[in-house]
Structure 1
Amino acid sequence: MMPTGGWGRIRIAGRRLGWLLGALPLFAQAQGAPRARPALLEDGWQREDPAAAGFDEARLRGIVAEMMNGRTNFHGVVVERHGRLVAEAYRQGRDRTVNSLFSHLRSFGPEVRHDARSVGKSVIGLLVGIALAQGRLKRVDTPVLDFYPEFPELASPERRAITLEHLLGMSSGLAWHEGGEGPDDEHKLMWKWTPVYHPLSRPIAAVPGSVFNYNSGGALLAADILTRATGRPWTEYARTELFEPLGITDVEWVGDFLGRPMAYTGLRMRPRDMAKLGRLVLDHGRWQGRQIVPSAWIDASLKPRLRTGFDDTGYGYFWWTGAAAWHGRNLPWAAAFGNGGQRIFVLPELDLCVVITAGAYGELPVARQANVIFREIVTSVER
């Protein structure tokens, strides 16, 4: 877990009024009540009226109101377009961190961190691109076992065929069970004394690169490879090379049962900071004129390589892909997904980012409902 002091939990004085405004529904429900706008928090965001940003304001209002007033345990939504916040809404809901057994009622707002879970995988993917540009990593087709000479017993020809690229694309070919009933391989990572050994030592189940199989162990390995390649803890590398350049100062990586930060499921951050990651991707790795992630790496990360078998989605490098209907066309999107309904959607052709947070961990119908809400928001874009 990241330290509680210093950069990890900075609060800027004088933001209480902004929090109160942001905690209100995006559009007040009482007749004649004033409309709440996205909060101004001196965190790099400006805001824009929905109509000026090209939305059907009434339709967007209805979508967000239905989401925030519904029975599903959604906690927040942020809509951003052309570099400005258009909509932001939060409410109370039951929530729990990944290492907690019990949920608690929490009030969410623009300054409240939320579990992002596997959104952290997409962060690791961005860091790999930075490390490649810096020459810390040489090639994505480097065999994974080149980074682990301490495990010579694993160096079979079949296992040596697994590359860093296969980890990023969830196509390592390693046998891996994640999700569904009972204990799975992801949970085993949380208490293994040497967690990197667990995914590396799994049996070979498919030719690397041929089959999509969701594998959090691959994200753990990718983060560990970053540490080995850069000579710095991957959490520190994330802070200095990605988060600080974006002005993101309130981040936590929840630790496993031995206190080790979990790259594959432990990320916690503010939804409006999640939107900064989306804007970074939409601007081809640039933020406020500075190239943080190589543009070519963004393109490679968002390029679908394999079908996932989950609805009609594909997968790039730790980013999901799909398409949304808009004015008779199907426009490609990419997204960072996290268990429970956590989402960072980006739709490049509309220059649109939508962030969703929820507390429905392990509930597949809610995951699908979050995707439906995104598609509905897309239909509210008029131009």
Structure 2
Amino acid sequence: MKVIRLFALTAAILINTATAQENGKKANTATNSASFVSPQIQVVPIKDSNSEKNYELYIELPEDYAEHPSKTYPVLYYTDAIWHLEMVSGAAEFLLEDVILVGISWQKDAPEDLREQYGAHVSRFTDYSFWETTNPNHPKLVFGQAENHLAFIQNDVIKYVDKNYRTNPNSRSYFGYSLSGGFGAYILLTQPNTFDNYVLGSPLSKSTMSHLAEINAELIAAEADKSEKSHANVFIAHGTLEDEREVTTKEFKALLDERKQLVVEFDSRTIEGNHQTAFPRIAVESVAWLASAMTHIAVDDYKVGFWDIPQLNNPYVSTTPENRNDGIAVGELALTADKKNAILNVAQEIFNDDYGNYDALLISHKDQLVFESYYKKGRINLAHGQASAVKGYTSLILGRAMQLGYLTMEDLDKPLVHFLKDLDPTKFTKGAEKITLHKALTMHGGLTIDDEKWEEVEQDSIQLKGQGLVQTLLERSAPITDETQTYLYGNFNPMMVMTVIDAVVPGTAEDFIKNEFLDKLGITNYEWSNHVSGLPQAGWQARIMPRDMLKFGHLVQHKGKLNGEQFISEAYLEKATSGIVAPAIDWMPKNYRYGYFWYHTPVKVGNKNYDMTLAWGGGGQRVMVVEELDLTMVISGFDGDDDKIMQPIFDTVVPAFAKE
């Protein structure tokens, strides 16, 4: 029935008089002055306290509103309410259920002669216009009332809704199409903090852009000495047959880019159709986009890439995480008030960018997820790029192969080429046999590859296929000696390890990772890219959900056990997570040591040191384990200086769980 209803709603809008939004003709569906009637919608009369004009609000509450008296809800405000109500309401029912919808009508008591000439929607031409010019063809219309209408929305509409309904004042969104979309663009430029998310459907013509450019120039001059920034997510779309809108959309984005105090996540789309027929598709896509902007849960059946998803305008922070039946047990952050508040303060500081750009912080204590938070592009069900944390996961995969008997601890000290039977040793550089699994796992392989020579073959999928990768590396490297076998961070060593995994396990490494590792951990929502060799990447280019990152940490925390049974070789994991070597690299903190693609560092709390083991990827991807405290923490982000985030981990989070 829902599918039939949504189709009917789409069809209704398709045949509606959307073209009336562009011109002054009467719209047959809008000439009746009677109030809108619907059993799901409350029609509330409201007066502009400044102009004394009368309007109506069409308020639709979520189905569970009465059942949850303490729950607050985001609000979606939309203009041109009669035209947009059915489509916005229908799309929200399927894609955005937990939201209060507020439609704002046209002026109900507009002069009768104007209503006769232009229709019941006459006020939109004046209320939404931000240009104070006269039009000889429409001498009775007083254009340029956008500032006053915005004041009405801010001072009367929003205040009324916040006072009378359980709203989340930190999550407001705006929907407008055509002229009301242009009004939304005006709000975004002049009063961006009015809403957190803006849906602007086919909003801009050449003439309106010229006015917005003038307004923007004045605002830039006025903001020259201001440092406080505003943030907003913007979805802007137009039809494929609206060539002018393609140009004006780019011009509008350029205006936003000029505003140093306005930080905008901009999603621009072109939807099949003209100004009228593109509307229903734009409405549905924009509501689905809003669903991912308003909540920490991305819409499961609406594929949104990580870089396309809008940023959360407010952090999602829970000290009682929800049970998602994903293999992660949940509990409550049971700490003293001061310690709990200190962690909550860290969450707010992360959202404020005090430590850089981060998307998630999760804390598991005694095998229960007790703190879960998401920021910016972080979502509970959205896989996040892992960067070099993948190296740590590759090490665990090798330990899984060892637990299943495909390798032994003694094999760690054997030449890596011993396991690769398809190689031609007569072409190896001198000293190739010095590279053992142990050396590769500690970044001491000793390869010396000329960059220009490697550029000649690095994309050659034929020459590098499978074990051909190691063959090529060992042919092109300078001689391998004790002097060259020093710590050298990079992806050659991890890929050599992955080649060994592929050689010793049944089937392929890709199948082994899925069937014997990720599937058994209950990890299904992920992306794991392949290297040009055809083998799975061993050092980067994988995406994992933050909750699933916890599962890797729990393996380390429990000495390789999964549900009480040995999953990773205990002897291997103990060595892999110990501080075997001191990484000789400038950007590495001096107290960090390196094991088998895992790091090790002490954490000082009072007079006691606790050992932390961690996987670390650029941008701030970290899986951190303090075994003595039964503590696993996960961070994900996309920060350029990703060491700052460790300050609150060391100073606040770990001490909160330390033994008194």
User: Could you tell me the TM-score, scaled by structure 1's length?
Assistant: 0.79
Asked if 2 retains the 8 angstrom alpha-carbon contact of 1:26 and 1:64, the reply is no
Q: What's the counterpart of residue 359 of structure 2?
A: 75
Q: Deviation string for 1:27-50 (max 9, x for gaps)?
A: 4xxxxxxx6642321102222222
| 2:315 is aligned with 1:25 | yes
CA drift of 1:211 comes to 2.5
CA drift of 1:145 comes to 1.7
Q: What's the counterpart of residue 394 of structure 2?
A: 124
Q: What's the counterpart of residue 235 of structure 1?
A: 510
CA drift of 1:271 comes to 0.7
Q: What's the counterpart of residue 10 of structure 1?
A: none
| 2:351 is aligned with 1:39 | no
Distance 1:303 1:176, change over 3 A: farther
Q: What's the counterpart of residue 324 of structure 1?
A: 603
Asked if 1 retains the 8 angstrom alpha-carbon contact of 2:321 and 2:372, the reply is yes
Q: More displaced, 254-263 or 226-235? A: 254-263
| 2:414 is aligned with 1:142 | yes
Considering fraction of residues, name the structure with more helix. Answer: 2
Identity value in percent: 23
Q: What's the counterpart of residue 332 of structure 2?
A: 49
CA drift of 1:162 comes to 1.2
Asked if 2 retains the 8 angstrom alpha-carbon contact of 1:171 and 1:208, the reply is no
2:488 corresponds, among 197, 204, 213, to 213
- Alignment partners' CA distance in 2, 1:176 and 1:53: 55
Distance 1:61 1:265, change over 3 A: same
Q: Deviation string for 1:279-309 (max 9, x for gaps)?
A: 1110111122222112222111111111013
1:200 corresponds, among 458, 474, 481, to 474
- Alignment partners' CA distance in 2, 1:245 and 1:372: 34
Distance 1:39 1:238, change over 3 A: same
| 2:356 is aligned with 1:66 | no
Q: What's the counterpart of residue 339 of structure 1?
A: 618
Distance 1:212 1:189, change over 3 A: same
CA drift of 1:184 comes to 12
Asked if 2 retains the 8 angstrom alpha-carbon contact of 1:173 and 1:211, the reply is yes
- Alignment partners' CA distance in 2, 1:54 and 1:351: 20
Aligned residue runs from structure 1 range 357-372, under 5 A: 357-360=636-639, 363=640, 366-372=641-647
Q: What's the counterpart of residue 7 of structure 1?
A: none
CA drift of 1:206 comes to 4.9
Distance 1:117 1:232, change over 3 A: farther
User: Could you tell me the TM-score, scaled by structure 2's length?
Assistant: 0.47
Please say which structure displays the higher CA radius of gyration: 2
Asked if 2 retains the 8 angstrom alpha-carbon contact of 1:54 and 1:382, the reply is no
2:384 corresponds, among 114, 136, 151, to 114
Distance 1:26 1:61, change over 3 A: farther
- Alignment partners' CA distance in 1, 2:634 and 2:453: 28
Asked if 1 retains the 8 angstrom alpha-carbon contact of 2:392 and 2:598, the reply is yes
Instruction: Classify the secondary structure of the residue corresponding to 2:386.
Output: strand
Distance 1:185 1:80, change over 3 A: farther
Distance 1:130 1:90, change over 3 A: same
Q: What's the counterpart of residue 589 of structure 2?
A: 311
Asked if 2 retains the 8 angstrom alpha-carbon contact of 1:169 and 1:212, the reply is yes
Q: What's the counterpart of residue 242 of structure 2?
A: none
Instruction: Classify the secondary structure of the residue corresponding to 2:622.
Output: strand
Asked if 1 retains the 8 angstrom alpha-carbon contact of 2:629 and 2:658, the reply is no
- Alignment partners' CA distance in 1, 2:458 and 2:562: 34
Task: Structure 2: give runs of 5+ residues left out of the alignment.
Answer: 1-96, 99-291, 298-311
CA drift of 1:60 comes to 1.0
- Alignment partners' CA distance in 2, 1:108 and 1:85: 17
Q: What's the counterpart of residue 448 of structure 2?
A: 175
Instruction: Classify the secondary structure of the residue corresponding to 1:226.
Output: helix
CA drift of 1:259 comes to 6.8
Q: What's the counterpart of residue 284 of structure 2?
A: none
Q: Which amino acid aligns with 1:374?
A: I
CA drift of 1:197 comes to 3.7
Asked if 2 retains the 8 angstrom alpha-carbon contact of 1:21 and 1:36, the reply is no
Aligned residue runs from structure 1 range 291-302, under 5 A: 291-302=566-577
CA drift of 1:258 comes to 7.8
Asked if 2 retains the 8 angstrom alpha-carbon contact of 1:336 and 1:345, the reply is yes
CA drift of 1:174 comes to 2.0
Higher relative contact order (CA 8 A, sep 6+): 1
CA RMSD of aligned residues (A): 3.2
Q: What's the counterpart of residue 191 of structure 2?
A: none
CA drift of 1:235 comes to 2.0
Asked if 2 retains the 8 angstrom alpha-carbon contact of 1:119 and 1:343, the reply is yes
- Alignment partners' CA distance in 2, 1:191 and 1:370: 39
- Alignment partners' CA distance in 2, 1:36 and 1:183: 52
Q: Deviation string for 1:66-94 (max 9, x for gaps)?
A: 112226211111111110112111122xx
CA drift of 1:142 comes to 1.7
| 2:631 is aligned with 1:352 | yes
Distance 1:124 1:382, change over 3 A: closer
- Alignment partners' CA distance in 2, 1:119 and 1:186: 25
- Alignment partners' CA distance in 1, 2:412 and 2:506: 18
Q: Which amino acid aligns with 1:65?
A: Q
Asked if 1 retains the 8 angstrom alpha-carbon contact of 2:387 and 2:541, the reply is yes
Aligned residue runs from structure 1 range 242-253, under 5 A: 242-253=517-528
